[in-house]
Amino acid sequence: MTTKQQIRVTVNGTPYVREVEARLTLADFLRHELHLGGTHVGCEHGICGACTILIDGRSARSCLTLAVQADGASITTVEGLRNRETGHLHPIQQSFVDAHGLQCGFCTPGFMMTTLELLNENPSPSDDEIKEALGGNLCRCTGYQGILDSVRLAASRLRTAQDA
Amino acid sequence: MRPLMAIEIPTRPDQLPTTAPRFVGKAVKRIEDPALVSGTVEFIDNLSLPGMLHCAILRSPHPHARIVSIDTTAALSLEGVEAVLTGDDVARWCAPGITAPEGWGNYCMAVGKVRFVGEPVVAVAAASRYIAEDALELVQVEYELLPPVANPDEAMAPGAPLVFEDRGTNVIQSRSYTWGDIDRVFAEADRVVSRKFRWNRVGANPTETFGCICQWDLADNSLTCRGAYQTPRFMALGRAASLKLPANKVKVISHAQGGGFGGKGGPRGTDIAALLSRKTNGRPVKYIEDRIEYLLAGGGQSWDRYYEAALAVKADGTVTGFRVRLVDDQGAGAEGYGTISAAKPLAAFTGNYRIEAAFYDMTLVATNRAPTYPYRGYGPPPHNLVLESLMDIAARELAVDPAELRRRNYIRPEQFPYTVPSGNEYDSGNYAAVHDRVLEMADYQALRKAQAKARAEGRLVGIGVVSTVEPGVFDWNAYATVGVPGVGVPEGVKVAVDILGNVTVAVGFNLQGQGQFTVAAQVVADYLGVDMNSVRVATASTDVAMPHFGQGGSRLGVAVSGAILGACDKLRQTFSRVVAHLMHAEPEQVELIDGRLQLKHAPEHGMSVAEVAGVMLARSDLLPPGVEPCPEATYVWTAPNRNLPDDQGRCRSYLTAANATHVVQVEIDRDTGQVTIPAYFIVDDCGTRLNPASVEGQLQGGVAQGVGAALYEEYVYDAQCQPLVSTFVDYLVPTIHEVPMTTKDHLVTPSPVAPLGAKGCGEGAIHTTPAALLCAINDALSPLGREILETPASPHRLWKVLHGPCA
Ligand code: FES
Ligand code: FES
């Protein structure tokens, strides 16, 4: 149980080599070994989506993934959204701020990572497509209206940025 | 020394010392948000302290059992385990939690016997949470099973097993209240409508569960608790009592919370982590509750109610009396103050209506379900569901439109301030105007036409129109009848101006989601004429904070505004003295406007707030005698004009009365019992909207929780009192697919008595949505002669109503 295994992962562009226990979840690895606390844990059984990250561009529940399963992968977490050079928020982050897409903010990193995947694949989602994409993330505070507005706003801003 | 001038708290935004408010009343962006979207906010599980250990808790698998023996030797010898805590330690060091009424508290861990599934039995502190959980598997506990008390009927049966043997009964409290001539109004009624209702247990379920890090200082026998604390000082007091420490030796540092809604829990987890720290010679011990623990035994179960209720109605539709018998399953004791939620409806017992008499019989019962805790609204959501459902039934019997029946009975605008039979005074409102506005917005007549068409096609379409009052700004006096002492809920701040004119507001609470830091910054920035960017809002730990309560009771936005306005007025008075002294004038000749203290008769002579602060801090030689070099002020606000209740619980309790009318359209799928919500409209009136975007967020969030309570969420227990819900797979929090995107509008009837005219607005939607949905569902069912009087109206329950025998 306590045998350790070496893994190599790239997180938000930074490569890491670490020895981890086989049973360590990826959420715990990111949060407590790499000190990337923005990925939150709300249920640890795959329902709430607070722990959503991108593994090689695909959204995944880091609470249901073991760190060893991520060996060789490239991971994006909420900490990877902000522009490191300028310090500016990512358009998705800024849209959540501007359209009041959060209250306590605990679910928000998960929603934003899901949104990132959605908008990467579908820059002009309809409301139904947005709902379909976000259907696996729970928010107990907002009633989702501000979140829907935020995603619409982010989509339009990213499209404009692309056109420019 | 100059006599102190009275502190003036503006009750309207236009009384702020500014030409025009730049922030108050505007949908400004929240100052909380950049850090939250960056993932850098320090939620408690993001914090590690040097030498920190991790706690895991072994919980009872039985609802009711005697603990025969506990063997922890194997667990203790596991590498990485530093301490094990059992009921023996707890019995030696602790006192049971204080409750209202007294005497129904539990220890933080089971002592001698367990009273519900999930009750802590053994706790371990180890080098990691993984090791701590390994150790739990090595603990041996032998139980002798006791017969469970599964529901109030069983609990009140003669010879029932006792949940608390020393009490000699399972009834925590049984009493009734009579307000007005209830027997006469029922005797004189042309029609009495009555029904039984069942509201099943729901609960808060914030996305972040409870967590804490506790550290016992063995040198001076003091305790520091960092964590997801909703009401920091209250929590510190409670811990001092249960851990037998002087109250000033417990320091609580509240971290940002991932939601709370009243049901954050925390007392038991905190005590357990604290005792493990004590046992490990003062190492910090972290306890993070997981979701299964939260669902089984956290602070998240509320309102488990059996109602029998009746309305007395005249032939013309005037409702004259409301009678309610409530049996409330509190679960295993009163540790979570679930009792209060049965008393809270006194603040608005008869809703929006001119009902002249009322009667409330309330029986609070202990069973072997988990203890109940607060949840947003703290009791009225089920009560309103009962009242509003009866209004609809009365309308059907009288063949009057249900919206029209309500309108006839509303308290009229000219009747405010209005004292309801149960004693509270509503400050202001215009219920008919709110009602008319939402009916117009929803095009109610068109909705009814569409319904008639759908019915003709055999579809089950219903409409709910429900109005409620949201008592805002709670006071302890509202709960006196269940044993809570006191009048007044102090909320204090310190406002400090630094030498460069930046402002810091120190408050006693931390972020939870409602945006109170932003409201604080808006108010102080408009008052002192600075930019919101120059304002920092900081959380003071309980050892140095002013008296405070924090979030709860639909109160904090109003209360913190009041405290800031009081502190700012004190600053204004002191600053005026300084400026008057420098300009050889009298303080009364100085006014503050747009951040400048200037001479009223010669406004070109003045100083900025920053300049005055600079003089005070750096030029004591220029200060008038008696003025301290301190451009800071504290103020502790509590609602004005509250009083002690009489023997029927009547008092001026909640300061403000917001109100709303919801119009909802539903359709029921005959084959599955699934309810869909094609349209949802809200018009509300919570007085001045300090930040309209935040108000709308509160409304929409409350709708979502109301949808959950009305249609999906339920803590299910079997006949043996075993919980059948322990994950989010079973406890169905609504997703984006279930929650309607509501259409909203509002009216503004400012509160004449509250700071800036704002009313509590965090709970109104959850007060209204469950009732609106159930009324709409029963409206859809009415052509079939069937009805559902139990929540949640989940698909399986509705399917049974649709396809079962007619009642
Ligand atoms: S924490 Fe991973 S889905 Fe809830
Ligand atoms: S903002 Fe609190 S859970 Fe979504």
Q: What is the DSSP letter of B5?
A: P
At residue A1, the pLDDT reads: 53
Contacts B738 to A, Cβ<8 Å: none
pLDDT recorded at residue A163? 81
Q: Which two tokens stand for residue B592?
A: 């503050």
> Residue B1 has what pLDDT?
43
What does the pLDDT average to over B143-164? 98
Beta-carbon neighbour count of residue B669 at 10 Å? 15
Domain encompassing residue A71: 4-80
CB nearest to A43's CB, from B30, B291, B512 = B291
Helices (H), B399-485: 402-409, 431-442, 444-456
A50 in any annotated domain:
yes
Statement to judge: residues A18 and A60 lie in one domain: yes
**Residue in the block written with tokens 């408010």:** B21
For residue B204, the ligand closest to its alpha carbon is 2
Contact present, B362 and B173 (Cβ < 8 Å)? yes
Please give the average per-residue pLDDT across B618-645, as a whole number: 97
Q: pLDDT-derived band of residue B224, with 50, 70 and 90 as boundaries?
A: very high
How far CA B321 is from CA of A162, B158, B189, B653, in Å, comes to 65, 33, 8, 22
Same domain, A157 and A117: yes
8 Å CB contact between B475 and B653: yes
**Percent of chain B whose predicted confidence (pLDDT) is above 90:** 98
Give the tokens for residue B40: 């850098």
Same fold, B45-146+210-289 and B380-473+654-803: no
Angle (CA) A158-A162-A163 rounded to 5° is 120
**Average pLDDT score, chain A:** 97
* Predicted confidence (pLDDT) at residue A2 exceeds the cutoff of 80: no
Q: Within this chain, do residues A76 and A104 fall inside the same structural domain, yes or no?
A: no
Residue A31 reports pLDDT greater than 80: yes
- pLDDT > 70: percent of chain A: 98
Q: What is the value of pTM for the model shown? A: 0.97
Which of A46, A80, A114 is where one domain is finished?
Answer: A80
Write out the two tokens for B548: 């405070």
- Spell out the residues 6+ positions from residue A8 whose beta carbon is closer than 8 angstroms to its own: A15, A16, A17, A71, A72
18-77 in A: which are within 8 Å (CB) of B? 21, 23-24, 31-32, 36-45, 47-48, 50, 77
Ligand 2 centroid to B540 CA: how many Å? 24
Q: Please check whether residue A86 lies inside any domain of the structure.
A: no
Stretch A89-100: mean pLDDT, rounded?
98
Residue A43 in any domain: the answer is yes
**Domain's final residue, options A49, A80, A111:** A80
Query: How many other CB atoms are there within 10 angstroms of residue B697's CB atom?
Result: 25
Q: A17-44 b/e with 16+ CB inside 10 Å = b?
A: ebebbeebbbbbbbbbebebbbbbbbbb
Instruction: Using most ligand atoms within 8 A of CB, pick from A40, A102, A148 the residue to mutate for ligand 2.
Output: A102
- The CATH number assigned to the domain with range B45-146+210-289 reads 3.90.1170.50
Specify the fold of B380-473+654-803: Aldehyde Oxidoreductase; domain 4 (3.30.365)
Task: Identify which has the larger pLDDT, B351 or B804.
Answer: B351
Does A85 reside within a domain? no
Give the 3-state secondary structure of residue A4: strand
Please tell me whether residues A70 and A102 are part of one structural domain.
Answer: no
- Say if CB B494 and CB B804 are below 8 A apart: no
Do A75 and A25 fall into the same domain? Answer: yes
Q: Is B647 exposed, middle or buried (0-12, 13-18, 19+ CB in 10 A)?
A: exposed
What sign results for the dihedral spanned by CA atoms B669, B673, B677, B683? positive
CATH 3.30.365.10, applies to B13-30+490-637: yes
CATH code, A129:
1.10.150.120
Mean pLDDT of chain B: 97
Choosing from A30, A40, A43, A77 the residue with most ligand 1 atoms within 8 A of its CB, the one to mutate for a pocket test is: A43
Helix (H) or strand (E) holding B296, with range, is: helix B291-297
- Contact between B728 and A43 under an 8 Å Cβ cutoff? The reply is yes
Task: Specify if A133 maps to a domain.
Answer: yes
Output the six-digit token pair for B596.
């400048």
Which pLDDT score, from 0 to 100, does residue A162 have? 83
Contact check, Cβ <8 Å, A105/B33: yes
pLDDT of residue B5: 74
Angle at CA of residue A37, ends A34 and A39, nearest 5°: 105
Closest CA to ligand 2's atom 3: A139
Residue B806 has pLDDT above 80, yes or no: no
- Domain end: A45, A80, A115, which one? A80
Q: Does A9 lie in the same domain as A37?
A: yes
Is the pLDDT at B577 greater than 90, yes or no? Answer: yes
Instruction: List strands edge to edge, sheet with B211-217.
Output: B81-86, B120-126, B53-59, B285-288, B211-217, B222-227, B250-254
CATH of residue A54 = 3.10.20.30
Residues A76 and A99 occupy one common structural domain: no
Partner-chain residue, chosen from A48, A97, A141, that has the shortest CB–CB distance to B29: A97
Domain ranges in chain B are 13-30+490-637, 45-146+210-289, 380-473+654-803
Contact call for A143 and B205, based on CB within 8 A: no
- CA A111 – CA B291 distance, rounded (Å): 19
